[in-house]
Amino acid sequence: MKNMFAVLAVTTAVGVTSSAYAADQSAVTESAQSYKKNGGYETTNKSEETTANGTDKSAKTTVDVDVDSEGKTTKTVKSESTTDPKGLMNKKTDTSESKIEEKDNGGYKQTTIRKHTDANGTDTYYKTVTDVTVDKDGNVTSTATSEKVTKPAGWFNKSESTSKTKTVNGIVVEHKEESN
């Protein structure tokens, strides 16, 4: 009888709690996954929420994996998030895309592009490319190039910076930076 009472109490508590959450339809999450014939897959995750103070938030992430006839994979990850507080002209947006391609002998090439727009209208763009090769003797050469562009709202105030770093077996053999 004590066990029956405990089960009844827990069931009631769970039912009341889930009813309270069900009444607030301000948060929604969706996920989907599909498989490809080549062994790859694609997933999508979405979420939307309105906070207690009225801020709308949304996010979406997509992962796409392809496998070629040699078993090498190409993976692309795309993300987008938005925060929009109550009021006008205060929306913030972030997007990113990364693509990773496998190469022979364990090498790869990764390209990542990120964009951000803040509430003041300043756009910031980042692009990073990492290229890793492994030669027949096992020497690993990595070249990373980065570019950043910041453009505040207004005219003629854009700034740019770039950097390039090359390493061989973990030792930096070249590094240069430029900005304006």
Q: Over the stretch 72-102, which tens digit does the pLDDT of each residue have?
A: 999 999 999 998 888 877 888 899 999 999 9
Q: What's the confidence (pLDDT) of residue 27?
A: 82
Same domain, 107 and 168: yes
Q: What's the confidence (pLDDT) of residue 112?
A: 95
**70 close to 96: Cβ distance less than 8 angstroms:** no
Same domain, 142 and 176: yes
Measured CA to CA, the distance from residue 133 to residue 103 in angstroms comes to: 8
Same domain, 125 and 70: no
Same domain, 178 and 116: yes
In a domain, 131, yes or no: yes
Q: What's the confidence (pLDDT) of residue 142?
A: 96
**68 close to 38: Cβ distance less than 8 angstroms:** yes
Q: How many domains does the chain have?
A: 2
Question: Smallest Cα–Cα separation from 134: which of 173, 98, 102?
Answer: 102
In a domain, 15, yes or no: no
**N-terminal to C-terminal alpha carbon distance within the chain:** 78
Same domain, 29 and 63: yes
Same domain, 118 and 153: yes
- Kindly state the tokens that stand for 8: 């009844």
Q: Which residue segment(s) compose the domain that 152 sits in? A: 103-180
Q: What's the confidence (pLDDT) of residue 41?
A: 95
* 71 DSSP 8-state letter: S
Measured CA to CA, the distance from residue 154 to residue 66 in angstroms comes to: 42
**163 close to 135: Cβ distance less than 8 angstroms:** no
Same domain, 122 and 73: no
Same domain, 32 and 65: yes
* 107 DSSP 8-state letter: -
Q: What's the confidence (pLDDT) of residue 7?
A: 37
Q: What's the confidence (pLDDT) of residue 99?
A: 96
Same domain, 75 and 107: no
In a domain, 124, yes or no: yes
In a domain, 10, yes or no: no
Bridge partners, residue 125, by sequence: 115, 149
The 10s digit of each residue's pLDDT in 147-158 is 999 998 877 888
Same domain, 116 and 75: no
Same domain, 72 and 117: no
For the full predicted model, state whether its pTM sits above 0.85: no
* 105 DSSP 8-state letter: G
Distance of alpha carbon 76 from the chain centroid: 10
With a cut of 50, which residues of the chain have pLDDT below it? 1-24
